[in-house]
């Protein structure tokens, strides 16, 4: 693991640094390579371009960890807005949304869990009416039980709702078994958060081994695996496991983040695979960008340069 990963992930949680960096105009800098824009229109435009290239999309309205009920409601409104815009542009067959429960009230004091569930229900209903789906992003391990329990509730009315599981967590192989059933959409990623040793593998090789074990469970299961990684080795292993388990193309999909390995996204799509690009948009790019820099600290120089040159 890079020596810079831990400090960068700690900075991702720092409100003071967030405030300082977020006020700086870095719109032309590295932020733009990961986030196509701040508005619904910019997100929908980026979606249209990717769909024209044969890709699918999941849209994330940036924001997390809110302790303000009005902010949570504003986030719900932003999702309703983008779903309406996708529908108006005829894009909902190819584009869905990804939602962080902490952005829609999960951490609010007292009834956070209940408020997040009701807010998620509102978004799921709007997505269903627009002809598309919702995937619940997964945040750090302290939220896993709460998120999976909200998912179970939502699936009673919206069984198409997708989940995310993180291979870095030791519990995830068991969670994959529990969710590898028919109709279940599960995005498998490595995990983007700083996690303690008692719950998470620390070593990259251990995380990769866990990713492969989880892939086996999901691809051998009855659900719809969403293989979220940019790692060429993981993509290759997923492809051979899909053949081993008799999975036809389209019975699973690959997912990558906007701006990361775009040529690989197109190569896989040209080979007949379903490929979905995760597009984050909005003003609250700080935490997202810090997690991307933690994964690829060589980009830190570009980021610092873009701050200085403004
Ligand atoms: P890893 O970071 O180990 O990189 C492996 C290899 O991939 C690198 O050696 C390089 O070859 C290639 N690579 C990686 N980044 C690159 C870059 N910027 N440019 C070029 N090559 C690069 N996490 C989470 O905790 N909760 C969530 O809900 C989600 N959701 C999510 C959705 C989608 C669609 C994706 C793709 C990812 C997530 N993640 C996530 C993030 C995920 O957990 C993880 O942090 C990142 O995907 C990075 O892990 P990789 O699997 O890409 O491999």
Instruction: Tell me how far apart the alpha carbons of residues 59 and 262 are, in angstroms, rounded to a whole number.
Output: 16
| Ligand 1 atom 9 nearest Cα | 231
pLDDT at 287: 86
Q: How many whole angstroms from 129 Cα to the centroid of ligand 1? A: 31
Q: What is the pLDDT of residue 201?
A: 98
Q: Per the structure block, which two tokens stand in for 298?
A: 């060589």
| 107 within domain boundaries | yes
Ligand 1 pocket check for 189: Cβ under 6 Å = yes
Ligand 1 centroid to Cα of residue 192, in Å, is 8
- Active-site choice (56, 175, 185, 187): 187
Q: Residue 187: its pLDDT value, please?
A: 98
Judge whether 254 lies within some domain.
yes
Q: Is the CB of 238 under 6 A from ligand 1?
A: no
The pLDDT value recorded for residue 296 is: 83
Question: DSSP code of 54?
Answer: T
Interval 37-50: pLDDT, tens: 999 999 999 999 99
Q: What is the pLDDT of residue 17?
A: 73
pLDDT at 16 over 70: yes
Average pLDDT on 188-215 reads 97
Identify whether the C-beta of residue 109 lies closer than 8 Å to the C-beta of residue 103.
no
Q: Would you say residue 309 lies in a domain?
A: no
> Which of the 8 DSSP states describes residue 277?
E
CA distance 177 to 155: 17
288 Cβ below 6 A of ligand 1: no
**Would residue 76 count as lying in a domain?**
yes
5 within ligand 1 shell (Cβ under 6 A): no
Q: Is 193 in the pocket of ligand 1 (CB under 6 A)?
A: yes
Give the pLDDT confidence of 98-110 residue by residue, as tens digits: 999 999 999 999 8
187 is catalytic: yes
Contact 167, 210 (CB under 8 A): yes
Q: Is 240 left (phi over 0), alpha (psi -120 to 50) or beta?
A: alpha
**Best mean pLDDT range from 4-8, 277-281, 305-309:** 277-281
Q: What is the DSSP string of 218-271?
A: HHHSSSEEEEE---HHHHHHHHHHHHHTTPPTTSSEEEEETTSSHHHHHHHHHT
Residue 193 resides in a domain:
yes
Query: Is 203 assigned a catalytic role?
Result: no
pLDDT band at residue 307 under the 50/70/90 scheme: low
Checking if the pLDDT of 81 tops 80, the result is yes
Looking from the CA of residue 230, the nearest atom of ligand 1 is 52
- H or E stretch including 175? helix 172-179
Nearest CA to ligand 1 atom 53: 231
Which among 257, 253, 267 has a CA at the least distance from the CA of 296?
257
pLDDT digits (tens, 9 = 90+) for 234-271: 999 999 999 999 999 999 999 999 999 999 999 999 99
Atom of ligand 1 at shortest range from CA of 137: 28
Flag whether the ipTM exceeds 0.95.
yes
The reply to whether 298 falls in a domain is: no
Q: Which residue from 190, 212, 268, 289 has its CB within 8 A of the most atoms of ligand 1, so it is best to mutate?
A: 190
Rounded to a whole number of angstroms, the distance between the first and last alpha carbons of the chain is 31
Whole domain around residue 54: which residue ranges? 36-284
Instruction: Tell me the CA–centroid distance for residue 229 and ligand 1, in Å.
Output: 5
How many Å apart are CA 93 and CA 51, to the nearest integer?
Answer: 10
Average pLDDT (152-175) is 98
Does ligand 1 lie within 6 Å of residue 287's CB atom? no
3-state SS class at 185 = strand
For residues 292 and 133, what is the distance between their CA atoms, to the nearest angstrom? Answer: 25
Three state DSSP letters for 88-122 = HCCCCCCEEEEECHHHCCCCCCCCHHHHHHHHHHH
Sign of the four-CA dihedral 232, 193, 226, 53:
negative
> What is the CA angle 178-183-48, rounded to 5?
120
3-state DSSP call for residue 141? helix
- The number of distinct structural domains making up the chain is 1
The answer to whether residue 119 is domain-embedded is yes
CATH code of the domain in which 276 resides: 3.20.20.220
- Mutational test site, ligand 1, from 202, 295, 296, 302, max ligand atoms within 8 Å of CB: 295
Q: Is residue 304 part of a domain?
A: no
Relative to the CA of 229, which ligand 1 atom is closest?
51
Residues 169 and 191: beta-carbon distance below 8 Å: yes
Higher pLDDT, 33 or 86: 86
**Lookup: tokens for 65:** 């960890």
With cut-offs at 50, 70 and 90, classify the pLDDT of residue 223: very high
CA distance 252 to 265: 15
């Amino acid at each position: 693991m890079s020596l810079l990963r831990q400090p960068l992930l700690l900075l991702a949680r720092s409100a003071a640094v967030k405030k300082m960096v977020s006020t700086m105009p870095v719109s032309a800098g590295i932020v733009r390579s990961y986030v196509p824009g701040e508005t619904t229109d910019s997100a929908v435009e980026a979606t249209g371009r990717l769909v024209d290239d044969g890709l699918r999309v999941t849209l994330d309205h940036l924001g997390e960890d809110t302790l303000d009920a009005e902010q949570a409601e504003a986030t719900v409104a932003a999702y309703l807005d983008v779903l309406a815009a996708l529908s108006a542009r005829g894009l909902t067959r190819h584009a869905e949304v990804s939602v962080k429960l902490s952005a829609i009230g999960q951490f609010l004091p007292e009834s956070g869990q209940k408020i997040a569930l009701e807010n998620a229900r509102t978004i799921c209903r709007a997505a269903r009416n627009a002809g598309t789906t919702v995937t619940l992003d997964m945040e750090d391990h302290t939220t896993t039980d709460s998120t999976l329990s909200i998912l179970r509730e939502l699936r009673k009315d919206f069984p198409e709702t997708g989940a995310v599981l993180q291979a870095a967590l030791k519990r995830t192989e068991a969670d994959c078994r529990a969710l590898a059933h028919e109709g279940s959409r599960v995005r498998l990623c490595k995990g983007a958060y700083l996690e303690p040793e008692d719950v998470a593998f620390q070593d990259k090789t251990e995380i990769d081994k866990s990713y492969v074990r989880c892939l086996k469970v999901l691809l051998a299961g009855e659900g719809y695996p969403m293989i979220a990684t940019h790692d060429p080795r993981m993509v290759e292993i997923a492809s051979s496991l899909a053949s081993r388990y008799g999975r036809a193309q389209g019975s699973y999909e690959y997912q990558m983040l906007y701006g990361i390995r775009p040529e690989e996204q197109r190569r896989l799509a040209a080979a007949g695979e379903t490929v979905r690009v995760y597009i984050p948009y909005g003003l609250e790019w700080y935490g997202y960008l810090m997690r991307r820099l933690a994964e690829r600290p060589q980009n830190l120089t570009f980021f610092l340069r873009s701050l200085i040159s403004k």
